[in-house]
Amino acid sequence: MRSGIARGQGLATAIMVVPATVLYAVMLVVPVGLAFYLSLTDWDGFSANPAVVGLDNYGRLLGDPELRRAALVTLLVAGAGTAGLNLLGLGFALLVNGRSRANTFFRMVLFYPHVLSALVVGFLWSAILGTTGAVNSFITQRGGEVLPFLSDPAWATVTMIAVLVWAGFGVNVVLYLAGLQAVPHSLIEAAQIDGATRWQTFRNVTLPALGPSVTVNVVLSLVTLLKTYDLVVSLTAGGPAGQTQTVAYLILWNSFHDARLGFGSAQSVVLMVVTAALAFVVTRLRRRGETAAHQ
Amino acid sequence: MRRYARLGFLAATTLFMLVPLYVLVVNAFKPQQEILASPFGLPLDGLTFEYLAKALDNPQFDIFRGYAVTLLFVVSVNVLSVVLAGPAAYVIARSPKRRFRVLMLFFLAGTFIPSQVLVIPVVYVLKTLGLMGTIRGFVLFETVLTLPFSIFLYAGYISTIPATLDQAANVDGAGRLRTFWRIIFPLMRPVVATMVILNTFSVWNDFVNPQIILGPGSGLYTVTTGVYAAVSQYSTDYTVVFPTLLLAIAPLLVFFVIMQRHIISGLTAGATKG
């Protein structure tokens, strides 16, 4: 009787846990392992038995000038983008901190682009900044020269970073606002009673207390920007002349346009490792910085 | 003085944030010449619905079908996700056994894997299972992507619900399944709402996964892949671009404005999942 109930409970537990676990294992854990395996093959996406080619894909990856350029663009986007997202995120969080109807409205306005898909954001900005786009039509009608927002490689890279920041910093604002709630008000009051200026209070009280928030925001921005793909497709299509291709863009292009999924897998394994390493290093550096600040 | 400087600055920023949306809306109602001649002007003399109607009737991308397909995906993924993640999270949260703590870590590890890295090997898995290019395959994969964070969030929430509730139900003869669905699940409304909002946006806005798993050959377009099919080749024909983009974002923007408080907190919770 007793064991009958226990067996029934065991069955119920299995019914509750097994489906999620199996599906997760098949479609997430197995693929992560497969990514490593496929990176050692010449899989084209169709053949059932891809040939194992060892480390060839990794060797090719080192000598690929396209990939080197894409890596540079990606690091630039991630670096400058992270700086932009966090400076604007923290700055605006300080500006719209505090309960009021106006602040709720401002937060909504800063946040709304995040709700749109990156694909739509890219098409929209390309209609605004393209050669015949809204801004250039406006300029040329007043006798000005066309500005190459998307047609010059350097301009296009900067434009892409700017659009990424425009579309994303609202999230950082909200995350920093959450962090600001955790800063003890008594500390800020104490600083003000001691005659600290606004800047001194921010620099010596608010910012150190925001430490963990800064770490989360920086790591998050970095990880998100390192896999920039949708916006490249819609804003520049990788152009002009492939100069704004990111690593994620090349991975999918090589894999599905050129049918070189083995090579694409090698690139995605490297991207995954580099992303994890960067996130780890930033977290460690921030932690060391925080302990140093406390001494 | 300082107060006015702050408000002035925020007003200017608001303008800058909203100009793209303004350009999108006004130009959806203008012919090409007028868009080129006065891209920022209101279409006061020639407000036309011609191009919006054309976008609704685009042979490349049937937007109503796009809404329907996307909505089907959104609903299926949300339902499956709750049905799978809820009970699993309950067992994990309520059991002191070591193996369930390990299981939690196993799921947690998944929150760190970017889906871009997965898409190539998932194609391999789906082909092996005969699910490549099918709605089932796509919905299952999108659901799996939601599982790690859902289970993490649900388990955290369930552990704040007093276990005496379960014991009372148990005494009354309810089994584990019944206890979860009848007693615990109704109490999880806020956290389930957060996850539903999160999943709705991520499925609606996803581009890579539907593009690759469903493929252009299947004829199945979500709103996002449909926009790509409709706009990418005509990116300088603004009478196609603006109305199509407007139709693509309108439902989400309305949803956002109505639910903005919940959405901002929900998406913030999601953003921190890394």
**For every residue of chain A, which 3-state class applies, written as one string?**
CHHHHHHHHHHHHHHHHHHHHHHHHHHHHHHHHHHHHHCCECCCCCCCCCCECCCHHHHHHHCCHHHHHHHHHHHHHHHHHHHHHHHHHHHHHHHCCCCCHHHHHHHHHHHHHHHCCHHHHHHHHHHHHCCCCHHHHHHHHCCCCCCCCCCCHHHHHHHHHHHHHHHHHHHHHHHHHHHHHCCCHHHHHHHHHCCCCHHHHHHHHHHHHCHHHHHHHHHHHHHHHHCCCHHHHHHHCCCCCCCCCCHHHHHHHHHHHCCCHHHHHHHHHHHHHHHHHHHHHHHHHHHHHHHHHHC
Is residue A8 situated within a structural domain? no
| Pick from A17, A31, A43: CB nearest B118 | A31
| Pick from B125, B207, B253: CB nearest A26 | B125
For tokens 């196993």, the residue is B106
Query: What is the pLDDT, as a whole number, of residue B174?
Result: 82
Is residue A17 situated within a structural domain? no
Cα(A65)–Cα(A44) distance, rounded to whole angstroms? 22
Cα(B134)–Cα(B148) distance, rounded to whole angstroms? 23
Q: A131 is in which domain, residue-wise?
A: 65-294
B176 touches chain A (CB under 8 A): yes
Cα(A222)–Cα(A219) distance, rounded to whole angstroms? 5
Using alpha carbons only, what angle is made at residue A249 by residues A242 and A51, rounded to the nearest 5 degrees? 110
Torsion of CA A69, A75, A80, A83, to 10 degrees: 180
Q: How many domains does chain B have?
A: 1
B37 touches chain A (CB under 8 A): yes
Q: B212 is in which domain, residue-wise?
A: 63-217+252-271
Query: What is the pLDDT, as a whole number, of residue B274?
Result: 42
CATH number for the domain that contains residue A123: 1.10.3720.10
SS3 B116: helix
Q: Are B206 and B69 in contact (CB under 8 A)?
A: no
Other C-beta atoms closer than 10 Å to the C-beta of A138 total 16
Is residue B200 situated within a structural domain? yes
Which of B 55-114 lie inside 8 A of A, CB atoms? 84-85, 87-88, 90-92, 95, 100, 103, 106-107, 110, 112-114
Bridge partners for A217 per DSSP: none
The mean of the pLDDT values for chain B is 87
Query: What is the pLDDT, as a whole number, of residue A294?
Result: 55
Query: In this complex, do A38 and B120 lie within 8 Å of one another by their Cβ atoms?
Result: yes
CATH number for the domain that contains residue B89: 1.10.3720.10
Query: In this complex, do A134 and B40 lie within 8 Å of one another by their Cβ atoms?
Result: yes
A118 touches chain B (CB under 8 A): yes
Query: What is the pLDDT, as a whole number, of residue B15?
Result: 93
Query: In this complex, do A171 and B36 lie within 8 Å of one another by their Cβ atoms?
Result: no
pLDDT at B273 over 70: no
Q: Are B48 and B29 in contact (CB under 8 A)?
A: yes
Residues of chain A in contact with residue B175, where contact means CB-CB under 8 angstroms, are: 8-9, 12
For B14, counting Cβ atoms within 10 Å of its Cβ (0-12 exposed, 13-18 middle, 19+ buried), the class is middle
Cα(B121)–Cα(B163) distance, rounded to whole angstroms? 41
Query: What is the pLDDT, as a whole number, of residue B243?
Result: 92
Residue B210: which of B274, B271, B144, B132 has the closest Cα? B132
For tokens 């605004």, the residue is A128
pLDDT at B265 over 60: yes
Is residue A59 situated within a structural domain? no
CB neighbours of B155 closer than 8 A, spacing ≥ 6? B89, B90, B92, B93, B104
Q: Are B267 and A171 in contact (CB under 8 A)?
A: yes
H-helix or E-strand spanning residue B47: none
A138 touches chain B (CB under 8 A): yes
- And the tokens for B11? 């007003």
| Pick from A24, A126, A264: CB nearest B235 | A126
Q: How far from each other are the two terminal CA atoms of chain A, in whole angstroms?
A: 64
Is residue A166 situated within a structural domain? yes
Residues of chain B in contact with residue A124, where contact means CB-CB under 8 angstroms, are: 20, 23-24, 245
Query: What is the pLDDT, as a whole number, of residue A295?
Result: 47
CB neighbours of A251 closer than 8 A, spacing ≥ 6? A264, A267, A268, A271, B116, B120
Cα(B37)–Cα(B126) distance, rounded to whole angstroms? 50
Query: What is the pLDDT, as a whole number, of residue A84?
Result: 97
Is residue B261 situated within a structural domain? yes
Q: Mean pLDDT check: name the lowest of B7-21, B134-148, B210-224.
A: B210-224
Is residue B3 situated within a structural domain? no
Is residue B207 situated within a structural domain? yes
Query: In this complex, do A130 and B235 lie within 8 Å of one another by their Cβ atoms?
Result: yes
Is residue A22 situated within a structural domain? no
Residue A122: which of B205, B199, B160 has the closest Cα? B205
Note the pLDDT tens digit of each residue in B80-111: 999 999 999 999 999 888 888 889 888 888 87
For A6, counting Cβ atoms within 10 Å of its Cβ (0-12 exposed, 13-18 middle, 19+ buried), the class is exposed
Cα(B91)–Cα(B102) distance, rounded to whole angstroms? 12
Query: In this complex, do B232 and A114 lie within 8 Å of one another by their Cβ atoms?
Result: no
Query: In this complex, do B13 and A110 lie within 8 Å of one another by their Cβ atoms?
Result: yes
Cα–chain center distance at B47: 33
Percent of chain B, pLDDT > 90? 42
Query: What is the pLDDT, as a whole number, of residue A24?
Result: 95
Is residue B51 situated within a structural domain? no
Is residue A45 situated within a structural domain? no
Residues of chain A with pLDDT under 50: 1-3, 295
Is residue A30 situated within a structural domain? no
Residues of chain B in contact with residue A101, where contact means CB-CB under 8 angstroms, are: none
Is residue A26 situated within a structural domain? no
Cα–chain center distance at B156: 22
Q: How many domains does chain A have?
A: 1
Residue of B nearest to A234 (CA): B232
A190 touches chain B (CB under 8 A): no
Q: Number of CB pairs < 8 Å for A and B? A: 243
Greater model confidence, A25 or B273: A25
Largest CA distance in chain A: 92
Is residue B11 situated within a structural domain? no
